[in-house]
Amino acid sequence: MPSYASVMDDIKQLSPSDKERLVEFFEQVLNFGAHVDGVANEIKENRFSKGKVCPYCGHQEISRSGKYKPKNSPEHRQRYICKNPECRKTFTDFTKSPLSASKSSLNKWIVYAKCMISGYSLRKCVEMVGISLPTAFFWRHKLLDAIKLFMGKGFVGGIVEVDETYFAESFKGNHKKSPNFTMSRTPRKRGKEVKLRGISREQVCVVCAIDRIGNIFIELACKGRVNNNTLERVFSGSIEKGSILCTDSHSSYIKFAQDQGLEHQRIKSGRHKEGIYHIQHINAFHGKLKAWISMFKGVSTKHLANYLYWFKWLQLFKNEKDAVKSKHLIVHSGTVHSSTTVADFKCKQPAYA
């Protein structure tokens, strides 16, 4: 058996990249291993916080139906059966969650969540977790579909800064094997911007809002420039009555504020503040969002909504340690009923609010 001294000598001879991988390995063993045992119970408690219900029909009368042993799991878990005569389906604590029917261990999912928190590329995730590239892609969006459901649109109130930002419409993806996909325009070279000047239908609009206590609202709104009708649809039920709207000089916000009965503070072009009213927080938020999205070298518009919620989730939990955030990501995604399948990705369309 090698001695402590010999192991330390071997570590000193490692390259910087190998040392980094060793640190990541110890982090997985020491930090993540301590979380695995509690994650399953926490998902169960959150899912059934208002009592056990059937994930298929919502019926509240269910009973135990034996136990099962998941692959790569040391413990048996409970199985349930719905007592609704028209349903009678069996399910588990993970049914209709990203982990449902997964053949990988819960520890792998937590390690993958850590990779997402760190912003690793899909190929880096493959190397770290030991899964295939298509699996890494599907896991990412299974988790994000569930996180989007978990968070919901959100709610802002008080002094609310509102502004929109734009991304070039993108059809990024491997479409060679898709018989149903037809390119609607001439492909752009990677890194090239839209051809038309100003705001056009070549861009998609993302509407964002932040209040002074840190609540965040972010939605993929429409193609092209936003208007009053779009704002009413996007913000439906998400702004507290009596709030004060802080915006730039865009005319659509005037009609929107009047229709919603909101006080409206317009920051004139070229100005940064009007007393206590400003849109500096929302402008800074846009800068962070753009910089974060740029790490992925382009995001397909049909997946953009998922990335917006991913960024929102990261902002809300930015003060937590990475190991804790990894656990939260798995627990939050497992709390809601989300059943994204591989087939869903093939026919996915942009999710405009």
Model confidence pLDDT, tens digit, residues 326-339: 889 999 999 998 88
User: Can you tell me the distance from the alpha carbon of 103 to that of 126, in angstroms, rounded to the nearest whole number?
Assistant: 16
Lowest mean pLDDT among 32-41, 81-90, 128-137, 313-322: 32-41
**208, pLDDT greater than 60:** yes
Q: Indicate whether 141 belongs to any domain.
A: yes
Q: Indicate whether 121 belongs to any domain.
A: yes
Task: Tell me, yes or no, whether 220 and 280 share the same domain.
Answer: yes
User: Can you tell me the distance from the alpha carbon of 215 to that of 338, in angstroms, rounded to the nearest whole number?
Assistant: 24
Q: What is the pLDDT of residue 37?
A: 62
Q: Indicate whether 310 belongs to any domain.
A: yes
Average pLDDT over residues 257-264: 93
Task: Tell me, yes or no, whether 54 and 201 share the same domain.
Answer: no
**20, pLDDT greater than 60:** yes
Task: Tally Cβ neighbours within 10 Å of residue 334.
Answer: 28
Task: Tell me, yes or no, whether 237 and 130 share the same domain.
Answer: no
Average pLDDT over residues 79-106: 89
Q: Indicate whether 243 belongs to any domain.
A: yes
Lowest mean pLDDT among 38-52, 120-134, 241-255: 38-52
Closest CA to 102 of 334, 325, 350, 346: 334
How many domains are there within the chain? 2
Task: Tell me, yes or no, whether 144 and 165 share the same domain.
Answer: no
Task: Tell me, yes or no, whether 114 and 174 share the same domain.
Answer: no
Q: What is the pLDDT of residue 185?
A: 74
Q: Which of 149, 175, 210 is the last residue of a domain?
A: 149
Q: Indicate whether 353 belongs to any domain.
A: no
Residue 25 pLDDT level (bands cut at 50, 70, 90): low
Q: Indicate whether 129 belongs to any domain.
A: yes
Task: Tell me, yes or no, whether 145 and 269 share the same domain.
Answer: no
**283, pLDDT greater than 70:** yes
Task: Tell me, yes or no, whether 145 and 164 share the same domain.
Answer: no
**324, pLDDT greater than 70:** yes
**177, pLDDT greater than 90:** no
Q: What is the pLDDT of residue 32?
A: 52
> Which uninterrupted H or E stretch holds 209?
strand 203-211
Specify the pTM.
0.85
Q: Indicate whether 138 belongs to any domain.
A: yes
Q: Indicate whether 335 belongs to any domain.
A: no
Task: Tell me, yes or no, whether 87 and 177 share the same domain.
Answer: no
Mean pLDDT value across the chain: 85
The per-residue pLDDT for range 121-145, each reduced to its tens digit, is 999 999 989 999 999 999 999 999 9
Task: Residue 35: give the domain boundaries.
Answer: 15-149
Cα 65 off chain centre by: 34
Q: What is the pLDDT of residue 73?
A: 63
Task: Tell me, yes or no, whether 232 and 201 share the same domain.
Answer: yes
Task: Tell me, yes or no, whether 135 and 235 share the same domain.
Answer: no
User: Can you tell me the distance from the alpha carbon of 214 to that of 217, in angstroms, rounded to the nearest whole number?
Assistant: 10
Task: Tell me, yes or no, whether 178 and 314 share the same domain.
Answer: yes
Task: Tell me, yes or no, whether 175 and 302 share the same domain.
Answer: yes
The tokens describing 15, both together, are 């390259």
**219, pLDDT greater than 70:** yes
User: Can you tell me the distance from the alpha carbon of 249 to that of 284, in angstroms, rounded to the nearest whole number?
Assistant: 18
Residue 344 pLDDT level (bands cut at 50, 70, 90): confident
